[in-house]
Structure 1
Amino acid sequence: MSREPTSTPSQTSVRDSGAATPAPSTSAEIAAFVAKARAMAPNAAGARGRLVFALDATMSRQPTWDMACALQADMFREAEAIGSLDIRLVYYRGFNECRASNWISSSAELARLMGKIDCRGGHTQIGRVLADARKEAIAAGVRAIVFVGDAMEEQADELCAKAGELGMLKVPVFVFQEGVDPVAEQTFREIARLSGGAWCRFDPGAAAQLRELLRAAAAYAAGGREALQRLAASGGGAALLLGQMR
């Protein structure tokens, strides 16, 4: 990765309102989401799964970013065995920079986009990631969120409130934590629990561990709980996720 991506139609900034607390979901928004979810059931013929793939791109994350670039095609391959998958890449880095791509339907395009991004120092912006995912869940029928990170530098209660809203919308957050940070782990576990998702740790540089977790999340996004259950029969990451999901 040699340079920051230039502004293109496939990439937009994730803007934050600056409010101290997240705006609650309105009954109209939730009703609209439920109606859309019913119209595109996870296993319906021709339905496309939608997964938000969120990554911490602060300076310490460069090795994991490179690893995620190499592994992202596995998510598409896993989904193809079940149905199909669209992915929205969201990342934060630097000073107040949080960006999101349009929906991507090919691993080649996602790899091209990720290859243009380099990691930069800065604080975590997990709240903005969750807020963007909530917006997309209502507008586009997101089925799952994957977040890969190693730190949390925000107000835990505010993140948990956003995670709870995603739980109301039936959009689980799969939090994959690299390394050992007890403070981050406590909040990451709560985000997963409140959203109906799962938390898992992987060792720094452990590509095989991360690959299994990403494949499991893709299976869920493409085919729902039944697809995850089938994959879990062989153990590994899918079994870890399924064991935590409510």
Structure 2
Amino acid sequence: MADHKDDHLPVTPSNSKAIADFIRQAEQLPATCAADKGRLIFALDATASREATWDRACHLQGKMFVETHAFGQLAVQLCYYRGFSQFHASPWLHSTEALLAEMNQVSCIGGYTQISRLLQHGLAEAKQQPLQAIVFVGDSLEESIDELCNWAGQLKLHGVPVFLFQEGHDEVATQGYQQIAKVSGGAHCQFNEGSAAELQALLSAVAVYSVGGLKALRHFAKGQPDVVLQLEHQLSGG
């Protein structure tokens, strides 16, 4: 896998606003009990175009566990799709080592998007046991938006917001991701290609929310760099 040395790339104002919008939308979501273990599906597009982002996600995923220690326990299920109708869901993982081991076994293979399959899987998990959120990282969409919104609506009924973090500026993906987020009660954010800092901030924020709700999210923002401090300022009505 490639080396990634730019872990602290600057965040542009436009993306700061996107992350702030995500935090603001999270304020409207049901609070999670900090005493419970938060369950979070961490899903990535593993088709051929995603190899660089997969490498970055491997490097950053540990922050999701680190940042949640003060608020409660986190259980993560890694999901990805690739190739010809390949979809994988890991066991529920409880440490960064276990998640990284799963991710390091994956190679990216060309194929079409399978976001519908991901949403259906998330719904099945939510019916078995409460699920706090689905996080998806991708850059494209090749499916019916109407169908995706149907599954997103069912997730909404089960209290599962979908957070879609988009790399790049594909217009079709942007439109679809925004609709999924809106219908499910989640959020859509774009981050710069190659910006580890932006993706890390987003993953950490939603992980903290999953185990501690909005109160924990606000507390998390206090110890962060300027990009996250701006979120706290916006939540305070500034």
Task: Give TM class, smaller chain.
Answer: 0.7 to 0.9
Paired AA for residue 186 in structure 2: G
Q: Which residue matches 1:161?
A: 150
Q: Give 1:179-198 correspondences, 5 Å limit.
A: 179-198=168-187
Unaligned runs of 5+ in 1: 2-37
Q: Which residue matches 2:33?
A: 43
Q: Is the 8 A contact 1:163 1:194 kept in 2?
A: yes
Q: Which residue matches 1:236?
A: 227
Distance in structure 1 (CA, Å) of the matches to 2:228 and 2:57: 16
Which secondary structure state, in structure 2, belongs to the residue aligned with residue 132 of structure 1?
A: helix
Scaled by the length of structure 1, what TM-score is found? 0.78
Which secondary structure state, in structure 1, belongs to the residue aligned with residue 61 of structure 2?
A: helix
Q: Is the 8 A contact 2:167 2:192 kept in 1?
A: yes
Higher RCO by CA contacts (8 Å cutoff, separation 6 or greater): 2
Distance 1:120 1:219, change over 3 A: same
Q: Is the 8 A contact 2:47 2:111 kept in 1?
A: yes
Q: Give 1:1-246 correspondences, 5 Å limit.
A: 42-45=32-35, 47-232=36-221, 236=227, 239=231
What's the offset of the Cα at 1:153?
Answer: 0.2
Distance 1:213 1:237, change over 3 A: farther
Which secondary structure state, in structure 1, belongs to the residue aligned with residue 42 of structure 2?
A: strand
Q: Is the 8 A contact 2:34 2:71 kept in 1?
A: no
What's the offset of the Cα at 1:44?
Answer: 4.6
Unaligned runs of 5+ in 2: 2-29
Distance in structure 2 (CA, Å) of the matches to 1:96 and 1:237: 38
Distance in structure 2 (CA, Å) of the matches to 1:161 and 1:232: 33
What's the offset of the Cα at 1:71?
Answer: 0.4
Paired AA for residue 215 in structure 1: S
Paired AA for residue 171 in structure 1: V
Paired AA for residue 200 in structure 2: R
Distance in structure 2 (CA, Å) of the matches to 1:116 and 1:215: 23
Scaled by the length of structure 2, what TM-score is found? 0.81
RMSD after superposition: 2.0
Q: How many residues align?
A: 203
Q: Is the 8 A contact 2:168 2:191 kept in 1?
A: yes
What's the offset of the Cα at 1:68?
Answer: 0.3
Distance in structure 1 (CA, Å) of the matches to 2:34 and 2:49: 41
Deviations 1:69-91 (A, max 9, x none): 01000000111121110000000
